[in-house]
Each structure stands twice: as C-alpha cells, then as structure tokens.
Amino acid sequence: MQRSITFLGIPIVKVKKLDSCEKRYFLGVQYKVKKYANRYDRFTDLIAENCPELIGKNIKVILNNLGESVVYARTTRFWRKNGDFIFARKPAQVDIFRMFCPDVPAFYCGEAKLNKNAGESNISPVLEDDKLIVLNNTGLHFYKNWEKHLNADFSQMRFNRAVISEEAQRSALVKAKLFSIDLDNFVLFVPNATSQDPLPIEFWQGLTRELNAKGIGVFRNSKLFSVEEIYVLASRAKAIIANRCGLCDVLCELPVPQYVIYCHNPHHEDLQPMYTFAGFPWAAHDFITEYNTHKQKLNDIQADILEKLSARKQ
C-alpha cells in the first residue's frame, strides 16, 4: 500500500507499507521516529488542503531542533527571500521566529486557515535532516557549517537579537507571581534537553538544597511558560543553570551568568565541539561557563557552579 499527499504537484508526505515495515517520507526526508509520525501527517494533511495566504509564496518548513531554529531565525537577513513564509512543527519554533525576526510570517500548522483554491507555491525545508547530518559530520562548529552551507561570509553580518513583546513582558510577570518566583532572588534551572541524556535528579536536588540554604530561590523551566516568557524570567535571574538544549541558544545573548552542561548524546561522541557557545558570535561569552560530563565529574561541576555563584554574590 502506498499513500502520497501532494501540494500542487510537490510531494509532501509519502507512506510506503512494505512486508517488513512502514516507511514514511516528509519532503523527501525519511522519518522513523514514531512520536513525529502522526504530527507530520496532521501537518501535511492541513497543507494539502491549500492555504490562500500562501498563493505565489515560498514556504519554508522547519524540520530541525529548537537550537538550530534559533540559528536560522538569527540569520534570516542572509538566507530569507522576500515572500518567504515559515511553517513550524513545534509552537516553540514559531515563538523563536516571532522573537528574533518578527517581520517574517511564521505559523504553527494548527494555526493555518486552509482553503482548496490556493495558487502555485514552493515548499521546501530550511535545512533537510540528511543535509544537517552531513554538515555536522564535517567536524566544524554548527555556525561555521551554516555559513558554509549558504556559501556566506557572516563576519560583517548583523545578527537578529530577541525583540520581546509588551504582552509577553506582562504575562511573564503575572505567571511569576502565580509560581511565587522572587524575581530579585532566584536561579533558573533548565534541566530538560531532547538531544542529550538527562542529568541525575540528585544533581538538581543538591543544587536546590545549597542555593536554598544561601537564601536563593530556584525555578525549574516549565512548559506553562512560552519561550518568550522564559526569556523575560531569565533576564531577571541571578543565574541560569542548564542542560545544553535549544533554549540555551535563545538565552545565550543575555548578560546573565549561565552555566551550561554537555552530557551524553546518542548520535555524537561529544556535542560541545559542534555547539559550544564560544563558536557563536552573538553569545554573551563573558557570562557563559561550559562544563562537559565527558571530562568532568558531576560533583566537581556542581561545586564549581556554587563557588562561582558565591563569588558573584560577593
């Protein structure tokens, strides 16, 4: 059995059922992860019905992770063409584009008002997963890979910085009250990452005990806050302690002490060479300390973070 969804002649999703397995392709990229399969199908079913806002437009679809989306959003001045629309498979990706390039129309698939009478459009991924794998295997930093992929010289480029809406400012402060966050005396924890193994819960519990003993509150990143709202909170924090993840790419420009930890990744021996903030020109380098569990013990990392926080307090 074969199922194919097309948008004006362009293949979006193709499903092939073989004797031994089912293969699915999204924009020509095979995806095997079950948690994404239904999401892509719902997304493409909507696209297939056609969207009147996209007549004659170029549609860029974001397939990659959150951190990579931040790089795309920061560099739109270079790669984006007039008329490009952004479709994202995660609401957080839409938040990112609206923060870093509010002039670029960005939509979550569930937001699209679709109609069967659209004209011709061109649909393509910002960067296909297979091309991303090839780029990452060059051994270069992701920023340099992206520069190489675009055949660009970013040395003179002005990169997009976050523009926070007044609405997000207000809603973040309202939610902070609901969660009893003391905005003058707290540390933000970002423990979750999709590209790395989680750190032991004991690591975060130990940090919480030590910080609370020093009279400092702790708030753990919550999905009840949008990316934009977390940015507002992070700008008020005494420090950010994070498992290396895409949200770190959003926050790295803030002049706030940031302690970022690299852990085991199932696809790469060590993520730090490819995604270190030392390689991103827009990162607030003087405020970022990076740790690597391949080279350091967790107890030593925890002790160093607490020591640095105490030194800043003095």
Residue ranges of the domains in the chain? 2-156, 166-313
Q: Indicate whether 37 pLDDT > 60.
A: no
Q: Which has more pLDDT, 10 or 312? A: 312
E strands, the chain, are 2-7, 10-17, 22-26, 29-30, 58-62, 84-88, 106-108, 122-125, 186-190, 217-220, 239-243, 258-262, 288-292
Q: Which of 12-21, 54-63, 140-149, 285-294 has the highest mean pLDDT?
A: 285-294
Q: Which of 7-21, 93-107, 115-129, 161-175 has the highest mean pLDDT?
A: 161-175
Average pLDDT over residues 231-237: 97
What does the mean pLDDT of the chain come to? 82
DSSP labels for 24-92?
EEETTEE---HHHHHHHHHHHHHHHT--GGGTT-EEEEE-S-HHHHHHHHHTHHHHPPTTEEEEESSHH
Check residue 121 and give its pLDDT.
55
Backbone φ and ψ for 250, nearest 5 degrees, come out as -70, -45
CA distance 144 to 135: 9
Query: Looking at domain 166-313, does it have CATH number 3.40.50.2000?
Result: yes
Check residue 194 and give its pLDDT.
85
CA distance 128 to 29: 7
Check residue 115 and give its pLDDT.
42
pLDDT digits (tens, 9 = 90+) for 169-220: 999 999 999 999 999 999 999 999 988 889 999 999 999 999 999 999 999 9
Q: Could you tell me the pLDDT band of residue 139, with boundaries at 50, 70 and 90? A: confident
pLDDT digits (tens, 9 = 90+) for 40-85: 565 555 555 545 555 566 677 776 788 888 988 998 888 887 777 7
Which positions ≥6 away from 139 have C-beta within 8 Å?
A: 273
Q: Which has more pLDDT, 25 or 309? A: 309
Check residue 29 and give its pLDDT.
57
Q: Which has more pLDDT, 292 or 223? A: 292
Q: Which has more pLDDT, 177 or 11? A: 177
Q: Indicate whether 127 pLDDT > 80.
A: no
Residue 123: beta bridge partners?
A: 59
Check residue 88 and give its pLDDT.
78
Check residue 90 and give its pLDDT.
79
The residue assigned the tokens 């690597």 is 292
Entry pTM: 0.82
Burial zone of 269 (CB within 10 Å; 0-12 exposed, 13-18 middle, 19+ buried): exposed
Check residue 267 and give its pLDDT.
75
Tally the residues of the chain: 314
Q: Indicate whether 292 pLDDT > 60.
A: yes
Q: Which has more pLDDT, 108 or 309? A: 309
Check residue 136 and give its pLDDT.
75
Check residue 147 and give its pLDDT.
86
Average pLDDT over residues 234-256: 97
**What's the token pair of residue 126?**
């910002």
